[in-house]
Structure 1
Amino acid sequence: MGKFRYVVEQTSALLHHFKRLAVRWKRGLELHNAFLSLASSLICWRRLRKTGS
């Protein structure tokens, strides 16, 4: 359980580095969900790129 919790906390902290997600300029839920998906994809891509080399 310790390893899984660390990954979840680390990913949550990484999401807060995206300014669009930290400060909600628009109140639209669809736009916020779109940026959340984009940020999650970027985090996964960076992690996979790092392990692939």
Structure 2
Amino acid sequence: MMPVVHADLSKRLVPDELWELAAPLLPSFAARPQGGGTAPCDERAVFRAVVYALTSGCAWRHLPPTFGTSPATAHRRFTV
């Protein structure tokens, strides 16, 4: 039952209006010319995870998997 609560919360944390304001401000991640680098991910899911961690006080490593991104990815993108 708990994952459903987190899934609903993750959608309410970043409504469409907030995402429209925030999306252009996020850094873009281009492919490196030599190959490799970061795999593409759902930027909105990462943003939701960051907002959740900052507003709840949750430790990065304890982010619920229902956000659709790994805690390491959310933390790395926050620090960029």
- Bin of the TM-score, shorter chain as denominator length: 0.3 to 0.5
Q: Normalising by the residue count of structure 2, what TM-score does the alignment of the two structures yield? A: 0.33
User: Normalized per residue, which structure has more helix?
Assistant: 1
TM-score normalised per structure 1: 0.44
